[in-house]
Amino acid sequence: MPLQPHLSADVSVVVIGYNDAAHIADAVRSALAQGPSVSEVVAVDDCSTDGTSELLDRLAAAEPRVRVIRREENSGGCGTPRNAGIDAVTTSYVMFLDSDDVLPPGAVDALLGAAREKQAEVVSGLCVRRELPSGREVPWQGKLYAEGAVLARPAHLPRLVHDTLCVNKLYRTDFLREHAIRFPEGRFPYEDFVFTARVLAAGPRMALIPDQVYVWNVRRSAGHLSISLDRSDIENWHARTEASRSAYDILLNAGQKELARAARAKFLDHELRMYARELGLRDAEYRRAWWDHTREYLGEYDAADWAVNPTASGRLLGRVILASPEPRDLARLKEFAARPSRLCPPYARDKDGAPVWADDLPQISLEPYLVRPLHVLPLAVDAELRAHASTSLLRLRLHDLYGRVASAGPEAVEVEWHHREAGRTVQHAAVPLTPSEDGTWSAETAVELAGLGAGTWDLRLRVRFTDGASREVTAHAHTGAGLLRRRVVPSVRYGVLLVQPYATHSGALALRLAAGLSGVTSVLRGRLSRLLHRAASR
């Protein structure tokens, strides 16, 4: 990202932190390293007790651009310290930075240059989620930032509601103040939802740039997960729905009906699917509370919210939940909430032969699947990996979907293993699909585990049909006959391999491999440590 030395100091970066002495210095330094465009870094300490405050004082003493604001009482959230930053900044533009994240080089110049050139009140750029400790980076809402764009009003691009982050954006300070745009005060998880809705409701001129402007560090192995990442308690779901409801109300009351409806669609496509995939991790009490609360929230939707694209996975998932007083079909819903969706059998029909979700839920019609394009259908493939000392085998079975698969003529399936941490891919040649007597199609291919190497591997498939059409799918992990057990197999290359096929949160087949005696020993030692920890905590 090239620097633009002609840009004058005109930006304040508000860094907020609470008890994060381990990371906040890196955040502040990444803001200072943006160069002369950053006039000041306003560091708001939310009443830390771990030395964060003293660390910020030392940074301020060494760098005149750092100004520290110390709150006397912890707010319990991110909104109040950010509001304090908005009140304190003295520059024309402001952006926000969390204490455990960083700004990549050139981020501020890219944002400020677009703000001035396009006369934009808000400029938004690409954020990447960096999974730590692996370092794997995943773009956040990458499609929005595939290329630059200028919008006279946010309503010209309703998909903007999907980017709820406040930190990958530069705001004209007067714009925020003139419209009294602030964060919710106190402990309010997902405060970004509300702030972003207030920004969009005010109808700013916006610019989108393809540059990477923010690194969101995700530390899932941390002792205490961040407020937004800790989804294990039902109160987190309550907070998520409340923030989504607030965003909808803000947009609707501002006359932004299209954006408001897009916000409700986004909840179905993102929030609902994400939490539904994780229901299998929760106990029965959580699942019942989640189900009841979700039905109550979805009851606020009107007919128009359900009418558009009724077979979109989130909408169909929501309609099944809304129509069912008791939790049901959790395993099937989990697979359907995957990306891409998998609609697993049984494939029910009503008394007239029309496709429906289930015999006892005929009001949930699947008839649109009879005419939907093949490349968007929620095809289901079962997969099992049989690890052996000689040759390991991957067996696949493709299900029909109300005759659509059979009529298209499934021809072959391309197999791909994707290394989750490194991002590299190992591909196999297309494997022919053979029809079976039960109306499915099967394929089998050898897997050279040593050729994959250590790490976590996701299985990705592409089903090809005789007319040239294709569909990317993931595969349901078959769990029978001990297929997901760990196995130690000999390897000419590594000596030994520890093989662990497993089902992801959405039920897809994935694979963990540990290579060599040291790798196997490390995994087994970690497993023993977790077992001892669980036993001690009982």
In a domain, 5, yes or no: no
In a domain, 488, yes or no: yes
Check if the beta carbon of residue 118 is closer than 8 Å to that of residue 208: no
Do residues 394 and 461 both lie within one domain? yes
Cα–Cα–Cα angle for 103, 107, 111, rounded to 5 degrees: 135
Quick one: residue 192, left, alpha or beta (phi over 0 = left, psi -120 to 50 = alpha)? alpha
Phi and psi torsions of 50, nearest 5°: -110, 10
The candidate with the shortest Cα–Cα distance to 20, out of 107, 78, 65, is 78
Do residues 204 and 241 both lie within one domain? no
Do residues 134 and 167 both lie within one domain? yes
- pLDDT tens digit string along 203-219? 999 999 999 999 999 98
Instruction: For residue 168, give every residue at least 6 positions away whose Cβ sits within 8 Å of its Cβ, in sequence order, or none.
Output: 124, 125, 126, 127, 140, 213, 214
**Residue 96 pLDDT > 60, yes or no?**
yes
Do residues 331 and 387 both lie within one domain? no
Q: What is the structure's pLDDT at 231?
A: 84
Q: For helices 284-298 and 313-322, what crossing angle results, to 10°?
A: 100
In a domain, 532, yes or no: no
User: How many Cα atoms within 13 Å fall on the side-chain side of residue 529?
Assistant: 6
Do residues 341 and 201 both lie within one domain? no
Do residues 408 and 383 both lie within one domain? yes
Phi and psi torsions of 371, nearest 5°: -125, -5
- pLDDT tens digit string along 156-175? 999 999 999 999 999 999 99
In a domain, 213, yes or no: yes
Looking at residues 465-484, what average pLDDT do you find?
89
Check if the beta carbon of residue 217 is closer than 8 Å to that of residue 273: no
Do residues 254 and 346 both lie within one domain? yes
Query: How many Å from the N-terminal Cα to the C-terminal Cα in the chain?
Result: 52
**Residue 390 pLDDT > 80, yes or no?**
no
Looking at residues 141-145, what average pLDDT do you find?
96
State what percent of residues in the chain have pLDDT above 70.
Answer: 92
In a domain, 45, yes or no: yes
- pLDDT tens digit string along 303-337? 999 988 888 999 999 999 999 999 999 999 999 99
Place of tokens 């980017």: 163
More confident residue, 530 or 226: 226
Q: What is the structure's pLDDT at 5?
A: 42
**Residue 107 pLDDT > 70, yes or no?**
yes
In a domain, 178, yes or no: yes
* Residue where a domain stops, chosen among 327, 346, 371: 371
The candidate with the shortest Cα–Cα distance to 197, out of 126, 124, 236, 254, is 254
User: How many Cα atoms within 13 Å fall on the side-chain side of residue 233?
Assistant: 10
The pTM for the full model equals: 0.90
Check if the beta carbon of residue 434 is closer than 8 Å to that of residue 443: yes
* Residue where a domain stops, chosen among 323, 356, 371: 371
Check if the beta carbon of residue 463 is closer than 8 Å to that of residue 398: yes
Do residues 347 and 407 both lie within one domain? no
In a domain, 355, yes or no: yes
Check if the beta carbon of residue 309 is closer than 8 Å to that of residue 537: no
**Residue 537 pLDDT > 50, yes or no?**
no
Check if the beta carbon of residue 427 is closer than 8 Å to that of residue 461: no
Q: What DSSP string describes 301-341?
A: --HHHHHSSTTSHHHHHHHHHHT-SS---HHHHHHHTSSS-
Q: How far apart are CA 495 and CA 485, in angstroms?
A: 20
Q: What is the structure's pLDDT at 30?
A: 98
- Which three-class secondary structure state does DSSP give residue 128? strand
In a domain, 226, yes or no: no
**Residue 525 pLDDT > 80, yes or no?**
no
Count of structural domains within the chain: 3
Do residues 243 and 156 both lie within one domain? no
The candidate with the shortest Cα–Cα distance to 199, out of 149, 163, 235, 147, is 163
* Residue where a domain stops, chosen among 322, 340, 371: 371
Phi and psi torsions of 103, nearest 5°: -95, 130
Query: Which H helix or E strand runs over 500?
Result: strand 495-503
Instruction: Specify the CATH number for the domain of residue 135.
Output: 3.90.550.10
Query: Which H helix or E strand runs over 40?
Result: strand 38-45
**Residue 538 pLDDT > 70, yes or no?**
no
**Residue 528 pLDDT > 70, yes or no?**
no
Residue 255's domain spans which residues?
A: 234-371
Q: How would residue 520 be classed by pLDDT, with cut points 50, 70 and 90?
A: low
Do residues 334 and 213 both lie within one domain? no
- pLDDT tens digit string along 24-61? 999 999 999 999 999 999 999 999 999 999 999 999 99
Q: How far apart are CA 474 and CA 506, in angstroms?
A: 10
Instruction: Specify the CATH number for the domain of residue 416.
Output: 2.60.40
Do residues 196 and 90 both lie within one domain? yes
Q: What is the structure's pLDDT at 302?
A: 95
Do residues 33 and 51 both lie within one domain? yes
